[in-house]
Every structure is written in structure tokens, then in C-alpha cells.
Amino acid sequence: MSKKSDTKYAILGVLTTGCRTGYAIKQLIDRSLNHFWKISYGQIYPVLKQLVDEGLATVTDSSQDGKPDKKEYFLTEKGVLELQTWLLAPIKDIPTEKNELLLKLFFSRHQTNDVTILHLNDYKEKLQERYNTYLNIEQSILLYSSDNEDAKFWLFTLDYGKRIAKSAIEWCNDTIDQLKEE
Amino acid sequence: MSKKSDTKYAILGVLTTGCRTGYAIKQLIDRSLNHFWKISYGQIYPVLKQLVDEGLATVTDSSQDGKPDKKEYFLTEKGVLELQTWLLAPIKDIPTEKNELLLKLFFSRHQTNDVTILHLNDYKEKLQERYNTYLNIEQSILLYSSDNEDAKFWLFTLDYGKRIAKSAIEWCNDTIDQLKEE
DNA sequence: AGCGCCATGTAACCTGTTACATGATTTC
DNA sequence: GAAATCATGTAACAGGTTACATGGCGCT
């Protein structure tokens, strides 16, 4: 089993949601998968080309309708099959995120508690922002896409994000309290 | 502000804990920082060389005491200062982990619920394993290092790991329940 | 004799980011 | 006419992993 990246499958999946152009793919991922997946144009365009080469997608080059150049991609049957094969495959290891805050905290005896508390507050604020973003995405899915077959699963991933963020915020509060007690 | 990696500071920090060799650094990171930091020899040895070049550490090449070649690294004053400067600097953005399970879940309308539930169970088991690992590390810190000045901060990072894992396990259970209701 | 652990190191490779180049259309 | 948005693409770079090469010590 090769250790290939899942970026290809992320794009394959997004192509089933109605996104057709590289630009639209980037937008959807930034807006809806942002809490567990990131991507750059430097990856998207080469992968799209590769998908066509492998017969997983077709492309229509439409520079006709007065608008700027635009390439629209469509999954082939083989492409859908490839996506389903990947969905069936067992997940590899759970990811280990590199966390700068925890790294600093680990070595914080070399720093005053004041500074450590500042970092924790900073982190907490960022988590709260993220939490609010999740709430906003959740609302827009419930308002505009509740009829969408995908919606249920999108809400599951959002729920994950919300819960993790909430726990992390609580941990920040408790850790700050413990540092202040001294 | 450059977007340099924090790997250098991870190593700088570990050198304050009594680890002296590249091998020992790898071991400590694998055993104690594993839930938020990973590293390979391919990074460690070049960085150690770089630290000496920058005057942040000194090295003693001890092939004398019957044992195999061994290089021991010691932080210089400049090295400690560099670590403290980094500890003082505000944290950059919170990390976004790439999560294969969530990616699959996001596109799971193309798959049967049975398979999705299998993946969620698989993930849950991995999280439980990880949780138990945290408990073991916690016990060994409490038993052998509770007098260590670092211990307090190490336990904070473990607490973070435990809480996140616990929330994620609960989310798995709830999501599985919702999928089974149908 | 073989295995596991201690110990160092590098080269090839993969993945992904950033910066840059280009240009049309829409909105203010 | 300026700015934002839509749209495609690449080259250079940074970061990190993997596989490989090397070798001694201690135990069974």
C-alpha cells in the first residue's frame, strides 16, 4: 500500500459537489473543509491535469461565452469508482498535528508564568474565533443546503470541529487558572 | 517575520532537559511530545550541526570510553537566550490538521453507512489507544519526575491530549448512533 | 550466530507553499 | 478608472520522510 497523499481524493470528492473549476474547488475547500483540509493552487491545477491524464475526469475548455478562459472538469465513471474505492479503504493513522502552543508550554519553565498565560489567552481567542466560524458555516448549511444529500455529513464534520474547539477552550481556561494560583 | 519552522526550537528545548545526543532527542520527542510533535533523524542531525555553527550549542565528540561514537551537545548561553526569545514570541496561527477520517466522512454519501460506521469505529479504537498511552505517560511522570521542574508543564500538555481524545471519542459514539438510527 | 538497542549520518524523494505572471469581468 | 473578484498556471523553495549505509555493545 503506497503512502500517497489524499489530496487527489479531496479534489475527486469536491468534483462530485458541483464545483467544476480549479478556482471553485479552492473556494469550497477554504470555506467548508477548512478545519481539516487545506489546499493551494499549486496543488490543484497539476492534480486536475493528472486526473484527466488518468481518465478519472474530462475537461471542457470553454472560452466561448464572453467570459474569461475557464476549464470545467467532470468526473468520469472511472473517477467515481476511484473515489468509492478510496472511501472503502481503511483509514491510516490518526494525524499528529504540530502544535506550537503545546511546544512552548512544554518548555515553559524557562519563561515567566505571565508570558505563558498571555500565550494561552491568545490561543483561546483564536479558538473562539474558529468556533464562531463553525457556527456560521453550520447556519448557512442549515439555511441553504439542508435539502442537499451531502448536508448530513458536512454537519458531522462541523460537529467534530465544534466539540474539539470547545474542549480546547476549556483546557485553556483551566490551565490559566492553575498557573494563576501560584 | 520569517515563517521558519519550529523544529530548531523543539531541539533547543529538548537540550535543556538533559538529553545530549541526537538519539536521545529522538527518543524523548517520540515518548513525551509525540501527541503534538514528530521528528526524524533526517532533521535532527542536520539541525544539531547547524546549532553548533550558529554558536547556540557546543559538541564533545566522545569516542573514548569504550562505547561507540557519541556526540554530546550542550546549549551555550546564546542558545538558552535564543530559546527564551522564541518562548516570548507570540504564537502563529493555530494548526489545521489534515484529517483523513473527516475527509472521508465529508464525502460519505457516496458510500454505505455500514462502511462509514466501520471507519468511525476504527478511528475510535485508535483514539482509545492514544488515550491509554497518555495515561501511561502521565503515570510515569508522576512516579519518576514529579520533582522535575518541567513536570508541571508536561502534565499540562498531556491534559490537553487527554481532553481532546476524550471529546473525539464521544463524537465518534454520537455520530455512529446517528448513522445507526436510519 | 543472531537479535535488539545504541548511535550517526546522508541522498533521494515527496508534498506542499509562496511568489510570481497573466488577464478578463464586475462593481463602485 | 480603480479595486475586487474570477480564473489559470508555474518555478523556486522549504520542510520533512524514507531508505539506505555503517558499526559497536550486550545478551541469549
pLDDT in tens, A63-111: 665 566 789 999 999 999 999 999 999 998 888 889 999 999 999 999 9
Of A23-27, A122-126, A137-141, B44-48, minimum mean pLDDT range? A137-141
How far is A40 from B3, CA to CA, in rounded Å? 17
Flag if B33 and A126 touch (Cβ within 8 Å).
Answer: no
pLDDT-based confidence at residue A2 (cuts at 50, 70, 90): very low
Neighbours of A22 (CB within 10 A): 20
> Which residue has its C-alpha nearest to nucleotide D18's C1'?
B42
How far is A108 from B35, CA to CA, in rounded Å? 17
More confident residue, A144 or B164: B164
CA neighbor of A175 nearest in space, from A121, A130, A128: A121
Flag if A91 and B170 touch (Cβ within 8 Å).
Answer: no
pLDDT-based confidence at residue A62 (cuts at 50, 70, 90): confident
- Choosing among A8, A34, A96, A100, which should be mutated to test the B contact, i.e. which has the most B CBs within 10 A? A100
Contacting residues 52-71/A vs strand C (CB within 7 A): 66-68
pLDDT at A181: 86
Q: Are A123 and A102 in contact (CB under 8 A)?
A: no
End-to-end CA distance of chain B: 52
- Choosing among B117, B122, B167, which should be mutated to test the A contact, i.e. which has the most A CBs within 10 A? B167
pLDDT along chain B (182 residues), means of 10: 79 96 96 94 97 95 68 96 97 90 97 97 96 92 83 96 98 97 80
B73 touches chain A (CB under 8 A): no
Q: Where are the domains of chain B?
A: 7-88, 100-180
Which CATH number applies to B7-88: 1.20.120.1460, 3.30.70.2190, 1.10.10.10, 1.10.645.10? 1.10.10.10
Write the CA distances from B106 to A17, A79, A150, integer angstroms.
11, 17, 7
Percent of chain A surpassing pLDDT 70? 95
Residue A18 has pLDDT above 80, yes or no: yes
Q: Chain B: nearest CA to A128, how far in angstroms? A: 11
pLDDT at B66: 53
pLDDT at B68: 64
B126 touches chain A (CB under 8 A): yes
> Which residue has its C-alpha nearest to nucleotide C25's C1'?
A67
Give contacts of A 25-64 with B, CB under 8 A: 33-38
Could you tell me which residues are beta bridge partners of residue B57?
B75
Percent of chain A surpassing pLDDT 90? 79
Cα atoms in the 13 Å half-sphere on the side-chain side of A102: 25
Question: Is 0.85 surpassed by the pTM of this model?
Answer: yes
Of A118-122, A135-139, B55-59, B78-82, minimum mean pLDDT range? A135-139
Could you tell me which residues are beta bridge partners of residue B85?
none
Asked if the Cβ of residue B18 lies within 7 A of any atom of strand C, the reply is no
B145 touches chain A (CB under 8 A): no
